[in-house]
Amino acid sequence: MSQPSAATPKEPALAKEPTAPVNAAAAQRTIPDATTPVTQPQAKPAKPARPPRAPKSVREKAVAPVSGPDEKAHTNTVESKQQDPARSSAPQNTEKPSPSAVRDPGGYPEFHAPTRVRNDGKATQTIVFLHGGNVANWSWDPQVRAFSDYEVLTPHLPGFGARAAEDWAGLDSAADDVAAIIADEVSSGGVHLVGLSLGGVVALRVVARHPELIDSLMLSGVPAIGVSSSMRKLSRMQLKLFSSEWFWRFQAGAYGMIADEKELFTDHGTKLRADNMRAIMDEVDPGGLPAKLGDYKGPVMVVAGGKEPKLVSKSFPTLGKVLPQAQFRTAVGRHHQWNIEDPILFNATVRSWIEKGIAHPRLQETGVLETDEF
């Protein structure tokens, strides 16, 4: 869940990256699928069951609050993957989205095709970004634009964005839903999974239940030890304010959002169902880690914003006991939603982690023992 925080500086402008044709001949990676029976090596592994979602017409809308060269990255799943000669020969629509479309919190696409080859010459890979609890997948737009050399998935979690009307069916169900999206969209190989806040909690369930799908994991803002009773009371009191635009505008300012981001955040917040949010709080607030999390042996980095609630950094020891391979870092001076607050540092952190397997030097190293005092 995204936590209230003090006001932060406005988001710095992102540096535009040059675009180039996608290398369609990029080599494909293959990893073994743990769901395939050993006695039937030729059998196709079953995909995780996926709960009902928003109508397909809603999912495939290609509206995104961006413009310019990187706008091509926001093609929807059907247009990006369907090999239809009539479609491929049709002229591309390069018009900017209308203001009303830009302000649609459910209109941001889930699939973003790469628009240029990687600088290191390696094959195109996939990054999956899982959003926090008071926002939707549009909050990853600064990352989508920065990673135009990757295939990017930004799923709508149940109860948010295009799926705001859906019931929250639990963390395990949300994790299986994400796994199904990965299985549907990624033809071969694992993905780099990045989760923030609620998205980080869901990401832990994904790697615990479907470790064969994940090549690397990066978490931020995950309260694994649970939240205090006073914070629980405050969160539930705030549920009464969810229908008020002023409440969400105040939160947007605290997160350092500007212009269209504030409008998206406000519009989306007033559409959240209080019963869903209460159910999420009831499941996440006690803390704890999923069963079989320790079975995941891939690389893990866990980050806490230096100015977000201390319960996040205090969760490091709990995570370190189950994931001993994890690296722990602090984004000094950053708040909970720092992918929006400081997208340049956040993007550099993600790229350093997934391409080099190292933490960005601007992050402060945090030993697990240093945060083991409650």
Residue 39 lies in a domain: no
Residue 343 lies in a domain: yes
pLDDT for residue 28: 40
* One-character DSSP codes across 297-322: -S-EEEEEETTS-TTTGGGHHHHHHH
Tell me the one-letter amino acid at 146.
A
Average pLDDT estimate for 235-250: 77
Q: What is the pLDDT of residues 27-38, one digit of tens each?
A: 343 334 444 444
pLDDT-derived band at 181 (thresholds 50, 70, 90) equals: very high
User: What global pTM score does this model have?
Assistant: 0.72
C-alpha pair distances (Å), 145 with each of 67, 105, 157, 327: 10, 18, 20, 27
Token pair for 158: 């149940």
Total domains in the chain come to 1
Report the candidate in 186, 170, 204 with the shortest Cα–Cα distance to residue 292: 204
Q: Which residue is it, tokens 């699928």?
A: 33
pLDDT for residue 223: 93
Q: What is the pLDDT of residues 297-337, one digit of tens each?
A: 999 999 999 999 899 999 999 999 999 999 999 999 999 98
Instruction: Quote the distance between the C-alpha of residue 32 and its chain's center.
Output: 24
Residue 263 lies in a domain: yes
Q: What is the pLDDT of residues 85-128, one digit of tens each?
A: 333 333 333 333 333 344 577 789 999 999 999 888 888 999 99
- Domain carrying residue 198: 56-81+95-371
Q: Which residue is it, tokens 């969760």?
A: 315
CA gyration radius, the chain: 20
Residue 69 lies in a domain: yes
Rama region for 218: left / alpha / beta (φ>0; ψ in -120 to 50; rest): beta
Residue 237 lies in a domain: yes
Residue 234 lies in a domain: yes
pLDDT-derived band at 24 (thresholds 50, 70, 90) equals: very low
CA 236 to CA 254: how far, in whole Å? 19
Residue 22 lies in a domain: no
Residue 12 lies in a domain: no
CATH of the domain at 192: 3.40.50.1820
